[in-house]
Amino acid sequence: MLVSYNWLRNYVNLDNVTPEELAEKITRSGIEVEGIEYLAPKSENIVVGYVKSCEKHPDADKLNLCQVDVGEESLQIICGAPNVGSGQKVAVAKPGAKLPNGMKIKKVKLRGVESNGMICSLQELGLDEKYIPVDVAEGIFVFPEDAEVGVPVQELLNLDDAILDLDVLANRPDALSMLGVAYEVAAILNQPMELPDENLTVDESIEAKDYIDVKIDSIENNPYYGAFIIRDVEIKPAPLWMRNYLMASGIRPINNVVDITNFVLLEYGQPLHAFDYDQFGSKQVVIRQGKVNETMVTLDDQERQLNENNLVITNGKEPVALAGVMGGADSEVTDETTNLLLEAAYFNSASVRHTVKQTGLRSESSTRFEKGVDPNRVKRAGIRACSLLQKYANGKIAGGVVEVDELDKSEKSVTVTTAKINQRLGMELDEKDVTSVLSRLQFEFSKNGEEIIVQVPTRRLDISIFEDILEEVIRIYGYDHLPYTIPQGWVQAGGLTDIQLLQREIKNYLSSAGLMETLTYSLTNEKDAKRFLTPDIEEKPAYSVGLAMPMSEEHSHLRLSLIPEMLRVLQHNVARTQTDLAYYEIGKVFISREEEITNQPIENLHVAGALTGLWHNHPWQQEKKPVDFYVAKGIVEGLFAHLELNVTFVQTKMEDMHPGRCAEIRLNGKGIGYVGQVHPLTAKDFDVKETYVFEIDLESVFAVHQLTPSFTDIPRYPSVTRDIAFILDNDIPAGDVQAVIKEIGAPLVKEVSIFDVYQGEHMEEGKKSVAYRLLYQDPSRTLKDDEVDASYQEIIEKVNNQFGSYVRS
Amino acid sequence: MKEELQAIESEALAAVEKAEDSQALQEMKVKYLGKKGSLTTVLRGMGKLSKEERPIIGELANNVRASITEALDAKTEKLERAALDKQLETETIDVTLPGNPVHVGGRHLLTSIMEEIEDLFIGMGYEVKEGPEVETDYYNFEKLNLPKNHPARDMQDTFFITNELLLRTQTSPVQARTMEAYQGNRPIKMICPGKVYRRDTDDATHSHQFRQIEGLVVDKNITLSDLKGTLDVFAKKMFGKDRKIRLRPSFFPFTEPSVEMDVSCKVCNGEGCSVCKQTGWIEILGGGMVHPRVLEMSGYDSTVYSGFAFGMGQERIAMLKYGVNDIRHFYTNDVRFLSQYHQA
């Protein structure tokens, strides 16, 4: 809401407060002033002049030579505006004047003829192009005839005004009107206020009811409709002061009738609509819901398709306006209009909201209806408009208003006590502190012992309970008076849950392991949402969750995997020559098990990693280690070792992954993730080079993880190591043999590690040598050689039997 | 004999002093102290000595042996040290060459901020609660005093999935869920961090996905002053002990009264500068006293219990604290941005 400081002065005395001070006070009391704009404060030495004569410049077709009376003197001025003419009163920048754009006016010669000043347009005087009335948009501004020659234009054109931009939130629709702001400012400044003139002299010879009838078929959406009749209006420009205030408030003046309805809209916060009575099409206003297949052409010349959710104003036959949103083209006020039907009505906010959402038409009117208007101001606004139409359009006001009125205009009452207010604020206010705020807000109240019964004016739709009055008291009294305290009483030990601690631990590990945490979007495109699924998701049919109305295809579906967006992050960095990257992320994936979603999806926390480029690079020592499968797997193994959980890795095939370089990660036999190389074709899709990724379902980890590890005594007896190298067929996984050795060797074999893998020269075709180191240990005694030897022989025998291998000599 | 011993000693000490390598020292050891060495030879004549002289000469001989041994050992050590020094000299390297790089990763800046805020409130006795990111209309709006068609719903543009399912626009549903779970019969002190989503076009100050952190305290006799005091502690911990706060009235459907909190600008110390748009204050967060309808809807008797709630955007806190100038940096994950803040 743009609030003109000069306009506001009509209702509240602002003599002792500058626009800046006022803005600060309003902000601190509840409505944020987002900015202050001065219209054109720097205009100097610009006065009203009278164009005595206007002739063509002897040497230039498009220039006029004007003799202009500026009061003390007469100036010869050359003017190029097409609309200049003798007898006009115009804005003259005299020599020495300075325009808001910084231009200084000097005496000059134009094509040999002297010009001693400049006749100005409103643009040149600093007004915003889009608010300038159409009739003077293409040339100089022409004052009304009664403008006094020689008077500075600054005040006359309201150029010294300061415009306060109020950010009015949904709870304060009252501040969408000058009167509402005036009540607020009067309370803040503790000043009395003056209300506008609503006096009206009606023409006794005409009766509104002879011209119009009102019928409402949809009373819940339209509980009040008042129809005023104004005859014989003279369409012309509105008075200058009104046009000034409209321009200052961001509304372009049109003509007196339209300007008056807009002026009252801003003043009272009550939208009005003026129909051309003679074009209305009947003598009856019927308000009803729209019909399917019904259409109408609105003021903006658009044909609108209606339905039963639109409230429409009709002439009994066809719609003439979308109630509270926009009028129809046929009954629009034009220069030829002489008789008016003025509508002052109360439209239900939900109904207007619906039409606005459907049509996308949001206007000064619809915004106010949507947020709610003061039921007690609807009719008064109509009267105020009639009074102005009488004065500034020479209209004859018909007696009586034709109305249907089932509107609840009663005031709410709210009971408070000073003690309860103090209890909730943590303060010690006196009763008079409370009642003084109520008086400043012009809320009536009565007392009953300790109780203060507050009558809430209907302009304040936001106030209905104790807490609302509490807020009024503290915001006007001042938040700065609140003390600083910390909640007393109940105490608990704060802290993180085991699962939250575990997440931090996983981040500690991955960060220390050299991976950088990323944060990517949960929303991705439809195709990528369903790629790189972990085995636990693949178990059953899984569907990605799509938005009903996405803003773009890139962010239309919730992810089932963290990897695609992480690959996009890699791509972003690689494209900026950052080629060696190791990233991880912990975030949710969203799994729906329904083809048509009806329930909230399953949200599982995942951890994922993506690595590309060099893992280690020490150039001058010629040490370069690119990321490979085993780097990625090592990180995963390290993670589970850190978490003290045993996982196994099984060769697997996944779409989007290298067919020979991908392992499923299993915890207690259940697939919970994968690690491997991104398929080269997929990598190409994402515009990345050789890339390794892993992703693990953390919910499966949380389910089995014990946060407190149990104590194992440090071994006191020596261990024994034995090495064996098996010659195996190439396709036998070394890990399978490792697992079997461990199984056979238990419980004496504590660890089995692989320390050499060899293929190639001196090796039979299709065979490989894998060397294992076995660590024997017993926590309670020193092992004897012969028992170790026996175990060792048993292992060799059984492995050879199972895998068809033999020991390398 | 005494003279002979003394002569051997001085000759040996002089010879050791002159020796230039361990080979020579070894030869001297044999020459003076060996089985056929000069000292042994002299001592063979001990039998000829009188009973009185024998112990005197014996002691002298032992002293001479000790003295020569000590000189030999000292000289050996000296020569070995010289040899080592010489060898080490040849092992000199260029210490200005770079060392082996150690790659440490790190947390995302927003994680660091989130954990910092969490720890601050955990220290004041808050528990950390989480909730689903795909929410129902009921918990995201209705339970927070935002019935369908409420005009304040326009304040947040929502990503709907169905008429009833949506991406949460705020972390407040976690408050509603917690209150409901506690059934109105115990006090609450909690914070809830998490991702939220709104239909905003991504630009320097907007992101369709961002993170909030909210706090809720419910107990008997919780006051607005308690909120002010708590936020003051928060602001001073996050932005420095010299910061001041102020509360301004605002509007949120789930709190009444509602406030916004400003922190005095640390760039200009409240004097007014371009960062704070000349106001001296920077808007940080919103909060207020929990609306009685919100308490009642979750089973808390609003005549017995009262509470305060507050909420903030983590990105905003991070941007203000570290001077980050574009919210998109958090989601672009440029390594040159991330590595500026890696706190492992």
Query: What is the arithmetic mean of pLDDT over B123-152?
Result: 91
| Cα separation, A85 vs A73, whole angstroms | 19
Flag whether residue A316 sits within 8 Å of chain B, measured between CB atoms. no
| Cα separation, B256 vs A743, whole angstroms | 66
3-state secondary structure of A227: strand
Tell me: is residue A472 an annotated ligand-binding position.
yes
- The answer to whether A311 touches A324, Cβ cutoff 8 Å, is yes
pLDDT tens, residue by residue, A52-63: 988 888 888 888
- Phi then psi for A304, rounded to 5 degrees? -110, 130
How many Cβ atoms are within 10 Å of A424's Cβ, its own excluded?
A: 20
Query: What is the arithmetic mean of pLDDT over A541-549?
Result: 94
pLDDT at A42 over 70: no
Cβ distance of B125 and A493 shorter than 8 Å? yes
Q: Do domains A203-405 and A412-478 have the same CATH topology?
A: no
| Cα separation, A539 vs B3, whole angstroms | 104
- Phi then psi for A166, rounded to 5 degrees? -95, 130
Q: Pull the structure tokens for residue A23.
A: 């803005």
pLDDT tens, residue by residue, A238-278: 999 999 999 999 999 999 999 999 999 999 999 999 999 99
Alpha-carbon distance values, A436 to A186, A402, A430, A440 (Å): 13, 41, 10, 6
pLDDT tens, residue by residue, B261-301: 999 988 888 888 888 888 889 999 999 999 999 999 999 99
Q: Which residues of A touch B157 (CB under 8 A)?
A: none
Q: Pull the structure tokens for residue B147.
A: 């019935």
Give the closest-approach CA distance of B295 to chain A in angstroms.
Answer: 13
Cis ω before B253 (30° cut-off from 0)? no
Residue B206: band (very low, low, confident or very high) from pLDDT cuts 50, 70, 90 = very high
Of A441, A412, A384, nearest in space to A268 by CA: A384
Angle at A280 between CA A277 and CA A281, to 5 degrees: 130
DSSP structural state of residue A548: S
**Residues 6 or more apart whose Cβ sits within 8 Å of residue A162:** A4, A5, A6, A19, A36, A37, A38, A39
Of A165, A369, A172, A186, nearest in space to A265 by CA: A369
Flag whether residue A415 sits within 8 Å of chain B, measured between CB atoms. no
Domain A203-405 indexed as CATH 3.50.40.10: yes
pLDDT of B155: 59
Percent of chain A having pLDDT more than 90? 79
pLDDT at B123 over 90: yes
Q: Of the CATH numbers 3.40.50.1970, 3.40.47.10, 3.20.20.450, 3.30.930.10, which one belongs to the domain with range B109-341?
A: 3.30.930.10
Tell me: is residue A403 an annotated ligand-binding position.
no
The residue among A733 and A102 whose pLDDT is bigger is A733
Q: Which residues of A touch B292 (CB under 8 A)?
A: 465-467
Q: Which residue of chain A comes nearest to B128, CA vs CA?
A: A496
Of B180, B253, B187, B245, nearest in space to B217 by CA: B187
Q: Pull the structure tokens for residue A268.
A: 């009272």
Give chain A's end-to-end CA distance (angstroms, integer): 92
Residue B156: band (very low, low, confident or very high) from pLDDT cuts 50, 70, 90 = low
Q: Pull the structure tokens for residue A753.
A: 């590690």
Residues 168-197 of A with CB under 8 A from B: 169-172
pLDDT tens, residue by residue, A143-186: 998 889 989 888 888 888 999 999 998 889 999 999 999 999 99
DSSP structural state of residue A221: T
Residues 339-398 of A with CB under 8 A from B: 349-350, 353, 370-372
Of B281, B215, B291, B299, nearest in space to B252 by CA: B291
Cβ distance of A547 and B149 shorter than 8 Å? no
> What are the residue ranges spanned by the domains of chain A?
2-39+162-189, 44-156, 203-405, 412-478, 498-704, 720-807
Cis ω before A747 (30° cut-off from 0)? yes
Please give the CATH topology (third level) of the domain spanning A498-704. BirA Bifunctional Protein; domain 2 (3.30.930)
Q: Pull the structure tokens for residue A332.
A: 């629009």
H, E, C per residue of A503-533: HHHHHHHHHHCCCEECCCCCEECHHHHCCCC
Cβ distance of A471 and B257 shorter than 8 Å? yes
pLDDT at A125 over 90: no
DSSP structural state of residue A495: B
Q: Pull the structure tokens for residue A781.
A: 């005694």
Query: What is the arithmetic mean of pLDDT over A622-637?
Result: 96
HSE-up (13 A, CA, CB side) for residue A666: 10
Tell me: is residue A462 an annotated ligand-binding position.
yes
Q: Which residue of chain B comes nearest to A479, CA vs CA?
A: B247
The rounded mean pLDDT for chain A is: 93
Q: Which residue of chain B comes nearest to A20, CA vs CA?
A: B279
Name the residue type at position B14: A
Domain A44-156 indexed as CATH 2.40.50.140: yes
β-strand pairing of A670-678 with A213-216: unpaired
Cβ distance of A490 and B159 shorter than 8 Å? no
For A634, the enclosing helix (H) or strand (E) is helix A629-642
pLDDT of B23: 87
Residue keyed to tokens 């509104």: A208
The C-alpha torsion from B283 through B289 and B294 to B296, rounded to 10°, is: 170
DSSP A734-769: HHHHHHHHHHHHTTTEEEEEEEEEE-STTS-TTEEE
| Among A13-17, A444-448, A457-461, B4-8, the least confident range | B4-8
Flag whether residue A617 sits within 8 Å of chain B, measured between CB atoms. yes
pLDDT at A568 over 50: yes
- Phi then psi for B270, rounded to 5 degrees? 85, 5
pLDDT of B151: 66
Domain A720-807 sits in which CATH superfamily? Ferrodoxin-fold anticodon-binding domain (3.30.70.380)
Of A583, A672, A670, A598, nearest in space to A635 by CA: A583
Cβ distance of A487 and B217 shorter than 8 Å? yes
Q: Which residues of B touch A576 (CB under 8 A)?
A: 334, 336
Query: What is the arithmetic mean of pLDDT over A467-478?
Result: 96
Among B153, B335, B341, B343, the strongest candidate for a mutation testing the A interface, having the largest count of A CBs within 10 A, is: B335
Please report the ipTM that was assigned to this predicted complex: 0.86
Q: Which residues of B touch A427 (CB under 8 A)?
A: 225
Q: Write down the CATH number for the domain with range A412-478.
A: 3.30.56.10
- The answer to whether A566 touches A693, Cβ cutoff 8 Å, is yes
Cis ω before B257 (30° cut-off from 0)? yes
- Phi then psi for B221, rounded to 5 degrees? 65, 30
| Cα separation, A10 vs A686, whole angstroms | 65
| Cα separation, B213 vs B170, whole angstroms | 9
Angle at A707 between CA A701 and CA A712, to 5 degrees: 115
Cβ distance of B228 and A482 shorter than 8 Å? yes
pLDDT at A604 over 80: yes
| Cα separation, B32 vs B21, whole angstroms | 17
Cβ distance of B332 and A569 shorter than 8 Å? yes
Flag whether residue A442 sits within 8 Å of chain B, measured between CB atoms. no
| Cα separation, A159 vs A156, whole angstroms | 8
pLDDT tens, residue by residue, A488-500: 989 999 999 999 9
pLDDT of B52: 85
Cβ distance of B118 and A600 shorter than 8 Å? no
pLDDT tens, residue by residue, A178-230: 999 999 999 999 999 999 988 888 888 999 999 999 999 999 999 999 999 99
**Order of strands, edge to edge, in the sheet holding A444-448?**
A412-417, A451-456, A444-448
Q: Of the CATH numbers 2.60.120.260, 3.30.56.10, 3.40.47.10, 1.10.10.10, which one belongs to the domain with range A2-39+162-189?
A: 3.30.56.10
Give the closest-approach CA distance of B83 to chain A in angstroms.
Answer: 30
pLDDT of B237: 94
Residue B344: band (very low, low, confident or very high) from pLDDT cuts 50, 70, 90 = very low
pLDDT tens, residue by residue, A58-108: 888 888 889 999 888 899 899 888 888 889 999 999 988 888 888 888 888
3-state secondary structure of A766: coil
Q: Which residue of chain A comes nearest to B335, CA vs CA?
A: A573
Residue keyed to tokens 């996983």: A506
pLDDT at A527 over 60: yes
pLDDT at A758 over 90: yes
Query: What is the arithmetic mean of pLDDT over B145-160?
Result: 78
Cβ distance of B229 and A483 shorter than 8 Å? yes
- The answer to whether B254 touches B290, Cβ cutoff 8 Å, is yes
